[in-house]
Structure 1
Amino acid sequence: MHRAEARYTLPTSDAELIARHGSLIDRVARKIAARVGMKDSAEELWSVGALGLLEAARRFDGSRDVRFETFAEHRIRGAMLDELRRLDHLPRRLRADTERAQKTRASLARTLGREPEADEVASALGIGVAELAELEQLKQPVLPLLDALAVSDGQESAESRLERQNRSRRLSAAIAQLSARLQLVLQLYYVEELTFREVAKVLEVSEARVYQLHGDAVGKLKELLAE
């Protein structure tokens, strides 16, 4: 564990937490807004990012070998990207980029005779692995993994409860058809809530490889659930 992180104490109030890490939200919001060509939307993303920060604080485990800001940035960015995707606020240029990434991955797979590594796709596109991960995250619809497995709050209708239980059964059956390695990636990322960097340490592979494994798992689940 980082010694500095071992002494890190989360603020006791939400207001203090946001005040302490507001600059992190600002930085991520500006970067994403610029990336999607919506610089005027940084303020809108900020409020979503603040919720991501609060969620990060609730789930942070100081015993792990990761700094809080690293963990929080991952949560903040994910919350902002999910919101953009939910609202369908992606500009034409970014939509074109996501399509190009998808086609490049497919083209490399045909050429290589195997699924390309994330760094191979990124290199072919002339971008970084992190940027590729953002493009692929934007392209994928929200995977209802946690929602399907979530515990009822006791206020849902009988119809909603049956629907949730059916989704949970279908998802569990689909996950069971994945390889043990892909199941582990999903378990670590969605259930244990490790970052991609932490998952890479557990699996003893590169972070780029984890991006690829996650994408493979999500893609196969989408196919299985569509059957």
Structure 2
Amino acid sequence: MRARQCIIESYLPFARILAAKIFGRRIDNDLDFAEYMQFASLGLVQAVDQFDFSRDILFRTFATHRINGAILNGLEHMSEKREQISTRRRLNDERNNAIKSVIAEAEIDTFQQLAEIAISFAFGYILDNPHIYQHDEAITQESAYGGLELKQLREKVRALVERLPHKERLVIKSHYLNHLPFNVIAETLELSKGRIAQLHSSALKLLHRSIRNIEICDVIL
């Protein structure tokens, strides 16, 4: 273990050089150099642990591939995660703005407006397809029981989606399950974006009425 630590420490400056080269070729400033160095350090540790001294190959050559690979893989993962977060935020903003716009036109009181917005948030959470962003196993729940309840509730609500009128069903499935923005759905159905917002609001209201008829689940959110 002492020899391992000595090798890692002696090659850290080399790992820093490789990280600096990739950092110098970056096309954005989303991550600090410290992030690049962290990936490089992990690559170095993997190289030390996996290097076969019996093979006729220089450790520096082996480590170079491992360190560069670790940096690039780390950056790719971070980029995908940022893109997922950005996509989810954009879709959430779009659906919530659509709900607010339809509610404003209906001229209902403030309490009803808040209730409608809360309902839209709730259905958005239930209908959202977690497989687009991560596997179900990766979703943090306060308990296994709560996770099972949420899964069962999602299945029941999605079954109700299948009973919606044709256009409302297409809007909900396209937006929540396939994560298409309203403008793309509008082009597909040859309707205006405003009409898609109205269909979206109408679908949520129909789902709200229908869900009262199914067994209530005590979901831990």
Per the TM superposition, whether the score is higher than 0.5 is no
Rg comparison, structure with higher value: 2
Larger relative CO (CA 8 A, sep 6+): 1 or 2?
Answer: 2
- TM-score normalised to structure 2 length: 0.43
